[in-house]
Amino acid sequence: MFVTIFTNTLYITKVTNSLRFLMTSVYKILITVLMLAVMTSCKKPESPGDDNNRPKNLEEYYMVNEGLKDYFAADYFDMGMAIAPEAVDDPDDMELMIRHCSSLTAENVMKWSTLQPTEGTFNFSYADKIVNFAIANAMKVRGHTLCWHQQVPSWIFEDNGQAATKELVLERLRTHIQMVVTHFKGKVYAWDVVNEAIDDGSGIYKPTTWYNICGDEYIIEAFKAAREADPDAKLFYNDYSATQPTKSEKIFDLLEKLKNQDLVDGLGMEGHWNIDAPASETITAALNKYGTLGIEIHITEMDVSVYPNTSDPQVDYTTSIESSLAAAYSRFFNLFRSNRDYISSVTFWGITDAHSWLNNWPIPGRTNYPLLFNSDHEPKKVYFWIIDF
Ligand code: GLA
């Protein structure tokens, strides 16, 4: 009897212990699953991650072949650079373009002063060199730019020593656009048709020679001529400070007017920004506003100055400057990626820091460090930050 009770008690104790052990294990598993779920949902999506196998430093960069286009073009936007024709003869520049670009822009040689320096004399040789290189390497070409008030010859606005009439100026504009767009038809997929026509001050349009002679009619005429010459090309209006609230109102109105006549497909936001500005909210507000027009956005001339104020004195490229630049670019690229529904192309204004126009502007001789690659053609810290997502 005693033995039976003892055996039963022992058996019950064993079962209870097993149950307790089972419950504790289930409990532990549940807690672990719960903690993992919380940790996963709290992980910052943009924090430097080990969840991709992209290079994190120079050594790893040279161990792979992929570049910007491989990380961005399929799921986000084309990646491009603005270049001079000499770049397609420079092995180091060529290597960077081929590795990183799905799109190219001529930095200067598609502007009027190069293409038609004197009336009726067209010189396409420099631009052709860039276009042929792009095509040979399966890159798209953005055309820049058909009508601007700079790098434009004065003959357009003159007639036998007198000011040319509006009719003559518009006729010359139409002829230029017809010739240029036809020459590159099927090769240039998007054109910055009119560049920087909106005023930064209280006016609507910049009081340029174009505007002073033709009023705003020249803008409409330029777009009409481009549309007629190549109906398949995407037509863009391009400008700086396009996120600035007052200026963006005016740009919006112009785009709306063009869009109502089916003359425009997109806005080129230049992207000459700096390590402090524009603020993320400002960029987002502008993108949402332009987005209501149902047009594409291209970031056409991206470079990030390390000088928040244009008059800041020369600085060296210290670790702290390098980190500020990387943080700024990461912020901009996070915004670009989360707005990929609007943004379909991002072009850097240059290949390496060595040849950036910002080395001389607005202070001649001041060195800037605004691009992803240094003068030795090596990726800077900023490169590793923006591809780490
Ligand atoms: C403007 C123009 C570009 C280029 C830059 C400075 O943004 O649109 O073509 O000239 O200035 O290099």
Q: What is the pLDDT of residues 11-36, one digit of tens each?
A: 544 545 554 554 555 555 554 444 44
Cα dihedral 126/131/136/138 (nearest 10): 150
Residues with catalytic function: 196, 301
* Single-letter residue type at 226: A
The predicted structure's pLDDT at residue 24: 55
Q: What is the pLDDT of residues 69-114, one digit of tens each?
A: 999 999 999 999 999 999 999 999 999 999 999 999 999 999 999 9
The predicted structure's pLDDT at residue 1: 44
Domain ranges of the chain: 1-43, 51-386
State how far the Cα of 331 lies from the Cα of 326, in Å rounded to an integer.
Answer: 9
Residue 8, pLDDT > 90, answer no
The predicted structure's pLDDT at residue 3: 43
The predicted structure's pLDDT at residue 20: 59
Q: How far does the centroid of ligand 1 lie from the alpha carbon of residue 12, in Å?
A: 86
Contact predicate 297/189, CB 8 Å = no
Q: How far does the centroid of ligand 1 lie from the alpha carbon of residue 186, in Å?
A: 25
Q: Does 240 sit in the ligand 1 pocket, CB within 6 Å? A: yes
Q: What is the pLDDT of residues 259-284, one digit of tens each?
A: 999 999 999 999 999 999 999 999 99
Q: What is the pLDDT of residues 117-165, one digit of tens each?
A: 999 999 999 999 999 999 999 999 999 999 999 999 999 999 999 999 9
Residue 368, pLDDT > 50, answer yes
The predicted structure's pLDDT at residue 26: 52
Classify residue 89 by its DSSP letter. Answer: G
**51-386: CATH architecture:** Alpha-Beta Barrel (3.20)
Strands 140-147, 190-195: parallel, antiparallel or unpaired by DSSP? parallel
What mean pLDDT do residues 159-183 have?
98
Task: Write out the two tokens for 52.
Answer: 């991709």
Residue 372, pLDDT > 70, answer yes
How far from each other are the two terminal CA atoms of the chain, in whole angstroms? 72
The predicted structure's pLDDT at residue 137: 98
Q: What is the pLDDT of residues 29-65, one digit of tens each?
A: 554 444 444 444 434 344 445 578 999 999 999 999 9
Contact predicate 183/190, CB 8 Å = no
Q: Which of 308, 387, 388 is nearest to 99 (CA)?
A: 387
Residue 5, pLDDT > 70, answer no
The predicted structure's pLDDT at residue 52: 86
Task: Write out the two tokens for 230.
Answer: 């190549």
State how far the Cα of 109 lies from the Cα of 39, in Å rounded to an integer.
Answer: 53
Q: How far does the centroid of ligand 1 lie from the alpha carbon of residue 184, in Å?
A: 21
Q: What share of the chain is helix, strand, coil (3-state, %, to 5)?
A: 45, 15, 35
In sequence order, which ranges of 53-105 are alpha helices (DSSP H)?
58-61, 68-72, 91-100
The predicted structure's pLDDT at residue 286: 98
Residue 255, pLDDT > 70, answer yes
State how far the Cα of 328 lies from the Cα of 147, in Å rounded to an integer.
Answer: 32
Would you tell me how many other CB atoms lie within 10 Å of the CB of residue 364?
7
Q: Does 230 sit in the ligand 1 pocket, CB within 6 Å? A: no
Classify residue 314 by its DSSP letter. Answer: P
Q: What is the pLDDT of residues 185-204, one digit of tens each?
A: 999 999 999 999 999 999 99
Q: What is the pLDDT of residues 282-331, one digit of tens each?
A: 999 999 999 999 999 999 999 999 999 999 999 999 999 999 999 999 99
Q: Does 301 sit in the ligand 1 pocket, CB within 6 Å? A: yes
> Best of 110, 237, 301 to mutate for ligand 1, by most ligand atoms within 8 A of CB?
301
Task: Provide CB contacts within 8 A for 172, sequence distance 6+.
Answer: 119, 156, 164
The predicted structure's pLDDT at residue 18: 53
Question: What is the residue with the minimal CA distance to atom 2 of ligand 1?
Answer: 195
- Atom of ligand 1 at shortest distance to CA of 357? 12
Task: Write out the two tokens for 129.
Answer: 């060199």
Q: How far does the centroid of ligand 1 lie from the alpha carbon of residue 384, in Å?
A: 27
State how far the Cα of 279 lies from the Cα of 286, in Å rounded to an integer.
Answer: 11
State how far the Cα of 107 lies from the Cα of 97, in Å rounded to an integer.
Answer: 14
User: How many percent of the chain have pLDDT more than 90?
Assistant: 87
- Atom of ligand 1 at shortest distance to CA of 196? 8
Question: What is the residue with the minimal CA distance to atom 4 of ligand 1?
Answer: 107
- Atom of ligand 1 at shortest distance to CA of 238? 8
pTM of the predicted model as reported, rounded to 2 decimal places: 0.88
The predicted structure's pLDDT at residue 15: 45
Residue 348, pLDDT > 90, answer yes
